């Protein structure tokens, strides 16, 4: 096959077909004269080999879970099993159209329904929506549900405040603000919610409290029953940020802990690919009482048939085109089936073992602010490095030179120069040991090398503030930058 191009003085129409001596095709009818191309397209003149080498080189400059581990705390970067990818590419799944008649997509609807039932069991919260496209989207939708609930009770005017611990992920206060609430931070004590501070903060203005358990310090909030009593006693709702569900999978769940609403990130706990802000899936789970507020459509089963139901007068409405990211639902369902109930428990046990094993090893090089047994992740503080003028950022960059990914840094903010490390259950003890060795080499390197890192990658130290503020997103921008 090759591209055959029309003569230069003809309107340009491209056609993919074998080389032939035939006369050039007629221009496609219906394209107005003024919109037709007059000049040749400036296709790059490259051979196949050059193109292959270009893209292969680019792929080698990239970092991916298939080549190495991501110790990113809170992100739970798991291996994405190839079987799930294969299933998601089956024609019946890949080519299905979101607006096909329901009768022709019974299998897809059944899968959604079954996944929802499984997640209801896992979360202990009976009503589920798979619509949100990411965790933060799930948070926002849940906060809209809190609004709708309070409005129904005539309390929205006075219950305007969402409380959050100082270990909360940044998306929590952002979602609360977007949903029209004000936010108030509750101080932690020894890495967990300070109950006295919470008791002093709740009151007639409290709309809800957002919490992740285990929290972002990797610590299990064991006072959770009392936290739930305090928030409910003040008339607020308790929201579970499910980003850390991996640590308690099959052992306990948000429903049991007294939470009213939750989001889960399919792209964390259930090993679907991270979407870089979407397309992920930030499943919403709520109590039976709050089910009527979930987004439409809901997938319902009547008799042996499945269908979308839109007639839900109390629903917060539609929050996503079609019904969320179906390809991810399918991958997550495959993951659930392949592990089963006991497999879920093995996942969380192994994740906790990994965190404590690596935490103990790395604790030899930098202090751990909380010495308690952790769940899925742990914190280190880079404070001692400051004496040599080295910051946590320098250490993170130096780790890149070891061929490993850097951990999450400067979060949570309650720890000075924080490094937050999570190696999920998919990482072997060999991988943990290799990371510990790389960490030792990096943290004991000279300040000069730490400041200069990364020195062995295709891109050196970038000005991250400039990169965020002055985005250059296409090769044309780069060309202008070079010539301009």
Residues within the interface to ligand PLP (CB under 6 A): 74-75, 134-136, 169, 171, 212, 216, 241, 243, 265, 280, 282
Question: CA-CA distance, 37 to 41, in Å (whole number)?
Answer: 8
Cα 100 vs. chain centroid, distance in angstroms?
A: 29
| Residue nearest ligand PLP, CB atom distance | 135
In this structure, what are the phi and psi dihedrals at residue 409, rounded to the nearest 5 degrees?
Answer: -125, 155
Q: Kindly tell me which of 131 and 171 has the beta carbon lying closer to ligand PLP.
A: 171
Q: At closest approach, how far in Å is the CB of 172 from ligand PLP?
A: 6
CB of 76 to ligand PLP, least distance (A): 8
C-beta closer to ligand PLP: residue 211 or 330? 211
State in angstroms the smallest separation of the CB of 385 from ligand PLP: 25
- Residue 236's closest CA among 212, 202, 213? 202
Q: Biggest alpha carbon distance in the chain?
A: 85
What is the closest distance, in whole angstroms, from the C-beta atom of residue 254 to ligand PLP in the complex?
A: 13
Contact 314, 291 (CB under 8 A): no
Indicate the residue among 70 and 323 with the shorter CB distance to ligand PLP.
Answer: 70
Q: Taking the complex as a whole, how short is the minimal distance between the CB of residue 134 and ligand PLP, in angstroms?
A: 4
Closer residue to ligand PLP (CB): 75 or 217: 75
Q: Which is nearer to ligand PLP, 230 or 265 (CB)?
A: 265
CA 214 to chain centre: 17
Tell me the CA end-to-end span of the chain in Å, nearest whole number. Answer: 40
Residue 4's nearest CA partner among 264, 141, 20 is: 20
Nearer to ligand PLP, 147 or 376 (CB): 376
> Which has the closest alpha carbon to 247: 93, 423, 457?
423
> Which one, 169 or 298, has the nearer CB to ligand PLP?
169
Q: What b/e string do you get for 225-247 counting C-beta neighbours within 10 Å, with b at 16 or more?
A: eebbebbeebbbbbbbbbbbbbb
142: its two tokens: 């849940």
We find the least distance from the C-beta atom of residue 244 to ligand PLP, in angstroms, to be 6
**Nearest distance, CB of residue 239 and ligand PLP, angstroms:** 11
Q: How far is the CB of 37 from ligand PLP (least distance, A)?
A: 42
- Output the six-digit token pair for 392: 């946590």
- For 330, other C-beta atoms within 10 Å of its C-beta total 22
Are 419 and 395 a contacting pair, CB within 8 Å?
yes
Report the interhelical angle of 392-400 vs 429-443 (nearest 10°). 120
* Rg (alpha carbons) of the chain, rounded to whole number: 26
- The tokens of 262 are what? 């939750």
Whichever of 297 and 412 has its CB closer to ligand PLP, that residue is 412
How near is the Cβ of 241 to ligand PLP at its closest, in Å? Answer: 5
Pick between residue 78 and residue 398 the one whose CB is nearest to ligand PLP: 78
Which one, 169 or 368, has the nearer CB to ligand PLP? 169
Please state, as a whole number, how many other Cβ atoms lie within 10 Å of the Cβ of residue 464: 9
DSSP 153-186: TT-TTT--EEEEETT--THHHHHHHHTT-EEEEE
Number of neighbours of residue 326 by Cβ within 10 angstroms: 21
8 A C-beta contact, residue 402 and residue 99 = no
Residue 248: which of 403, 78, 425, 130 has the closest Cα?
A: 425
């Amino acid at each position: 096959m090759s591209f055959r191009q029309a003569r230069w003085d003809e309107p340009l129409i491209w056609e993919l077909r074998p080389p032939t001596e035939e006369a050039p095709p007629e221009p496609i009818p219906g394209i107005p004269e003024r919109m037709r191309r007059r000049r040749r397209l400036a296709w790059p003149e490259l051979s196949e080999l050059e193109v292959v080498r270009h893209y292969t080189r680019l792929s080698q400059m990239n970092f991916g879970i298939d080549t190495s581990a991501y110790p990113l705390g809170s992100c739970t970067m798991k291996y994405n099993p190839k079987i799930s990818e294969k299933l998601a590419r089956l024609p019946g799944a890949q080519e299905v159209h979101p607006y096909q008649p329901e009768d022709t997509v019974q299998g897809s609807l059944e899968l959604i329904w079954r996944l929802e039932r499984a997640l209801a069991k896992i979360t202990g919260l009976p009503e589920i929506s798979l619509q949100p496209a990411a965790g933060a989207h799930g948070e926002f939708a849940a906060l809209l549900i809190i609004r709708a609930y309070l409005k129904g009770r005539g309390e929205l005017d006075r219950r305007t405040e969402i409380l959050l611990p100082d270990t909360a992920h940044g998306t929590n206060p952002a979602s609360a603000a977007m949903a029209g609430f004000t936010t108030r931070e509750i101080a932690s004590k020894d890495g967990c919610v300070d109950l006295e501070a919470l008791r002093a903060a709740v009151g007639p203005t409290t709309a809800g409290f957002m919490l992740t358990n285990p929290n972002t310090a990797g610590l299990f909030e064991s006072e959770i029953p009392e936290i739930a009593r305090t928030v409910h006693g003040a008339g607020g709702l308790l929201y579970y940020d499910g980003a850390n569900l991996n640590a308690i999978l099959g052992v306990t769940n948000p429903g049991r802990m007294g939470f009213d609403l939750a989001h889960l990130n399919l792209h964390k706990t259930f090993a679907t690919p991270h979407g870089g802000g979407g397309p992920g899936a930030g499943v919403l789970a709520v109590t039976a009482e709050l089910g009527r507020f979930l987004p439409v459509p809901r997938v319902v089963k009547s008799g042996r048939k499945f269908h979308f139901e839109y007639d839900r007068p109390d629903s917060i409405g539609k929050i996503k085109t079609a019904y969320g990211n179906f390809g991810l639902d399918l991958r997550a369902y495959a993951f659930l089936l392949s592990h089963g109930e006991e497999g879920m428990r093995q996942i969380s046990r192994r994740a906790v073992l990994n965190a404590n094993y690596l935490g103990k090893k790395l604790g030899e090089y930098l202090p751990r602010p909380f010495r308690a047994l952790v769940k899925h992740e742990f914190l280190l503080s880079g404070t001692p490095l400051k004496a040599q003028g080295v910051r946590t950022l320098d250490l993170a960059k130096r780790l890149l030179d070891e061929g490993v990914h850097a951990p999450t840094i400067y979060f949570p903010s309650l720890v000075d120069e924080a490094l937050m490390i999570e190696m999920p259950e998919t990482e072997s003890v060999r991988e943990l040991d290799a990371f510990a060795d790389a960490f030792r080499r990096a943290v004991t390197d000279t300040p000069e090398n730490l400041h200069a890192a990364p020195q062995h990658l295709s891109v050196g130290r970038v000005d991250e503030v400039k990169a965020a503020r002055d985005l250059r997103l296409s090769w044309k921008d780069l060309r202008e930058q070079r010539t301009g």
